[in-house]
C-alpha cells in the first residue's frame, strides 16, 4: 500500500464587516477573515495539505486570486475540487489532523460541526478529522486579533 503525507498552512487577516467562516461553519464574531474567497483558513490549509501530498502545487496554483470565478467562492467547493484531484490520482483520504490558531472567538463548540462538514466532503468518518484550537497567548498579530492561521496534515492512501 502506498501512503503519502501532506501538510498545509494558511493565514488570513481579520477585519470588521467580514464573515468569519472556519471549517465551513459561520462563526458569530465582530471580525471576519479577509480574502479573495470566503477566506476559510482551515479549509484552505486542508486543500494545501491534500495537494501537497501528491506534489500538485498549492491552492494558489489551482484557484488563483487573479481569477474572478473564485471571488467570494465557498471554500467547501475548493476543498471538494482539491479532493477530486486526489481521488483522480487514485488516492483516498485516511485522516486529517489540524490546528486553528486565533485569539478570539473561542471555537471549541463549533468543532463537531466543522468535523462533519470536512468528513462529508472527504468521504471519511468524523473521528478521522481532528481539529484543535488554540490561542497565541496574546502574542503577535494573532494575539492582537489582527489575523488567524490554520495548520493541517493529511494522510492519503493509494486505492487498492
Give the confidence band of 60 by pLDDT, cuts at 50, 70, 90: confident
How many whole angstroms separate alpha carbon 38 and alpha carbon 96?
A: 21
- pLDDT 10s digits, 20-38: 999 999 999 999 999 999 9
Model-level pTM? Answer: 0.96
How many whole angstroms separate alpha carbon 13 and alpha carbon 83?
A: 26
Q: Looking at residues 69-73, what average pLDDT do you find?
A: 81
| Residue 18 scores a pLDDT above 80 | yes
Locus of grid cell 464574531: 29
- pLDDT 10s digits, 81-130: 999 999 999 999 999 999 999 999 999 999 999 999 999 999 999 999 99
pLDDT of residue 55: 97
CATH 3.40.50.300 describes domain 3-158? no
Cα 125 to Cα 53, 66, 83: the distances in Å are 20, 35, 15
| Residue 40 scores a pLDDT above 90 | yes
Amino acid at each position: 500500500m502506498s501512503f503519502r503525507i501532506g501538510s498545509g498552512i494558511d493565514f488570513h487577516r481579520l477585519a470588521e464587516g467580514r464573515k468569519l467562516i472556519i471549517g465551513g461553519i459561520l462563526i458569530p464574531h465582530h471580525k471576519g477573515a479577509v480574502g479573495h474567497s470566503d477566506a476559510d483558513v482551515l479549509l484552505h490549509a486542508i486543500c494545501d495539505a491534500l495537494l501537497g501530498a501528491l506534489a500538485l502545487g498549492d491552492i494558489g496554483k489551482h484557484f488563483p486570486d487573479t481569477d474572478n470565478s473564485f471571488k467570494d467562492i465557498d471554500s467547501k467547493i475548493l476543498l471538494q475540487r482539491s479532493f477530486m484531484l486526489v481521488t483522480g490520482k487514485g488516492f483516498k483520504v485516511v485522516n486529517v489532523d489540524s490546528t486553528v490558531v486565533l485569539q478570539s472567538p473561542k471555537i471549541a463548540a463549533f468543532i463537531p460541526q466543522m468535523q462533519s462538514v470536512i468528513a462529508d466532503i472527504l468521504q471519511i468518518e468524523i473521528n478521522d478529522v481532528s481539529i484543535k484550537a488554540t490561542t497565541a497567548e496574546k502574542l503577535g498579530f494573532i494575539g492582537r486579533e489582527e489575523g488567524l492561521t490554520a495548520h493541517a496534515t493529511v494522510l492519503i492512501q493509494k486505492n487498492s
